[in-house]
Amino acid sequence: MIKEPTKGSDAWGFAPIVLFLLVWEIASRSQILSVHHFVPPPSAIVEEFYWLTMEGELGVNFLSSLSRVLIGFCAGSLAGFLTGIIMGWNEIAHRTFHPIFSLFYPIPALGWLPLLMIWFGISEALPIALIFISSFFPILYNTITGIKAVPKNYIKVAETLGASRYKVLTTVILPLALPNIFTGLRLTTGMAWRVIIAAEMVAIPTGIGALLMRAQNLIRIDIIIVCLVILSIMCLAFERFFLFLERRLTGKWSRHV
Amino acid sequence: MSEITLREINNFACKDVSLRIKRGEILVLLGPTGAGKTTLLNVIAGLVPYHGTVCINGDVIDHFTTSQRNVGYLFQDLSLFPHLSVASNVAYGLTVRKALHREKRVDELLRLMKIGHLAERYPGDLSGGERQRVALARAIAPAPKILLLDEPLSSLDFRTSRYFMMEIRRIQRALGITTLYVTHSLIEAREMADRVGVMHEGRLEQVGSPEDVFIYPANERVADFIGPTNVLDCEASEMLGRGLVEVCCGGNKIIVPYDGGEVKKISISSRHIYVSREKPPGPMVNRLRGVIEEVMVSDLVSRCTIKIGDTFFIAEVLQDVCEEMDLSPGREVFIVLKLKWINVIEGEGVVHG
């Protein structure tokens, strides 16, 4: 007999993490590892996190990265979503733009960096444009896929019931395309954080990525790990946010589609 | 109540189809897969291109888009919107048309369909029968001028579909809505139709009362479809006068009721051939002696293939009667062909009832 997972079983998810941190702490403090200088104990990392926060350095850099991600991600997603609707709904638009977009889609987001550096220079527009590009294409193609995957009979039923083309789009097609669109959003949000860190490491003097590079120059492993933990938490938090939103909007019915 | 008229409808699947569906009637459109039945529904709904004319109450609606035609369409797969609750599905047509008193109308329909307790449920959580009711309620909610039903019972088991036949009939009568019902089930056609139309390869072969179509098929294609029907070629025919003709089919002399001249083909429904182990009383007119070649059991009836002369007759006998009479291959039997059930196949034209 298969047991239903219980609430208590969630605690087991944290147990390995706690154990890992404990082993790490002990190993680092007892200097068992030959490279213990390069692996500070978790307690030292937490302490550094506290000081970085108190001095305001972490906050300033974090907010720089966050604002870039939010602006680039929202703009790129919105543009991808709207373009996706047009291309998914209108066959002529799809046939016109698909060949063009399919040329650009395979280019990795960071591949655009040299070109964008020349176009925008070292400015706020550079990382935002980079995140815009990295968000635009996945959302575009997930929206198109979502719209095209809606069974044609739903559209016919809506029309026979008196729905105009606009109503069919807003009341049938888009709601049914939501699961696909959310998959795109969840994939993109992690991508946006990875891209911003990379861009800040290479070309931008502020942000978590820039802080990482400075820490690397000073061989401050503790700061590097603080930055990596923040990056991990933000990727996870954004993904969880969209998962939560998806469940709220589609949870009651999407399992049957 | 509305009257629907189709004039010379032509497209990729329909060929010169003309049809009038009377006010408040259920016209059941029968035919094999690929006959063009569903396409004809799509023509009325404006979902496919066509040449010809579709009128509702005499008004031509060819230039109307699907959403302007005000037809209720129940698709074969029901296509309930999975993201909307039962109540929202039923209300959909009213909402997009911004109809007044939506909630009252939805409540009325949920009660009529006996699904009031399911209002907040989602289609994915419903049984086949419940989904059927919701889809029907949604189709009739905006008070359409015509209801188009495309094989609505095909996904249900025999028992449930029998029940739904009665339910659809009850609701159709209660609302008095003109209905075009597509199916390939002869049982549904017999039980539900005011009139039956038979389509074959895009052409409307016959329209008439169920009795007309099932007993007197207009041609071999209709007879084939509504079968098992015995279609016999006549080698010779001789006028006997008084509306009777004696024909010779495979060496068997049969008297048929006809006053139109030479008879080339006749049909007799297998349900209307009387089988007996004993020699039937009276003169041996339309009483033929033969040997059972095969007995096939299906549902409640046994289908006996009887060889008489050079001809094979198929006769349907109730299964318990078949057992009682001990009908089995090799048995000698007599068949009786009543004049009433012998149909002369005249030609290719559509017979309108």
CB contacts of B71 in chain A (<8 Å) are 160
Contact across the interface for A255 and B81, Cβ inside 8 Å: no
Phi/psi of residue A46, nearest 5 degrees: -65, -40
For residue B14, is pLDDT > 60?
A: yes
CA A231/CA A237 separation, integer angstroms? 10
Q: B34 vs chain A: nearest CA distance in angstroms?
A: 18
Yes or no, beta carbons of A256 and B93 under 8 Å apart: no
Q: What is the distance in angstroms between the CA of the first residue and the CA of the last residue of chain B?
A: 20
Q: Does A249 touch chain B (CB under 8 A)?
A: no
As for the ipTM of the complex, it is: 0.80
Q: pLDDT, tens digit, for every residue of B173-202?
A: 888 899 999 998 888 888 889 999 999 999
Q: Which two tokens stand for residue A131?
A: 């995140």
Global pTM value: 0.79
Confidence of residue B290 (pLDDT cuts 50, 70, 90): very high
pLDDT band at B159 (very low <50, low <70, confident <90, very high): confident
What is the pLDDT at residue B349? 46
Residues of chain A with CATH 1.10.3720.10: 41-254
Q: What is the mean pLDDT of residues B303-321?
A: 89
CB proximity A171 to B under 8 Å: yes
Q: Which of A70-74, A168-172, B137-141, B265-269 has the lowest mean pLDDT?
A: B265-269
Q: How far apart are CA A28 and CA B59, in angstroms?
A: 88
Distance to chain A for B124, nearest Cα, Å: 5
Are A160 and B73 a contacting pair at CB < 8 A?
A: yes
Number of Cβ pairs < 8 A linking chain A and chain B: 78
Per residue in B71-102, pLDDT (tens digit) is 999 999 999 999 999 999 999 999 999 988 89
Residue A162 has pLDDT above 90, yes or no: yes
Q: How far apart are CA B146 and CA B175, in angstroms?
A: 11
Strand order in the sheet with B229-233: B229-233, B265-269, B342-344
Instruction: Flag if B79 and A151 touch (Cβ within 8 Å).
Output: yes
More confident residue, B178 or B353: B178
The answer to whether B47 contacts A160, with C-beta atoms less than 8 Å apart, is: yes
Question: Is the CB of residue A203 less than 8 Å away from at least one CB of chain B?
Answer: no
Closest CA to B293 of B329, B332, B317, B319: B329
For residue B2, what pLDDT is reported? 87
CA pair distance A231, A209, nearest whole angstrom = 9
Chain A: residue whose CA lies nearest to B43: A160
Write the residue in A159, A255, A257 that is nearest to B67 by C-beta.
Answer: A159
What average pLDDT score do residues B199-208 get? 94
Region B115-128: mean pLDDT is: 92
**Residue of B73, B122, B142 lying closest to A157 (CB–CB):** B73
Residue B71: the pLDDT is: 94
CATH (one of 1.10.3720.10, 1.10.357.10, 3.40.50.2300, 3.30.465.10) for A41-254: 1.10.3720.10
The percent of residues above 90 in pLDDT, for chain A, comes to: 62
Nearest CB neighbour to A153, from listed B68, B77, B83: B77
Distance CA A239, CA A190 (A): 7
- Alpha carbon distance A143, A161 (integer Å): 25
What SS3 state is found at B38?
A: helix
Q: Which stretches within chain B are classed as H helix?
A: 37-45, 86-96, 102-112, 128-140, 158-175, 186-192, 210-215, 220-226, 319-325
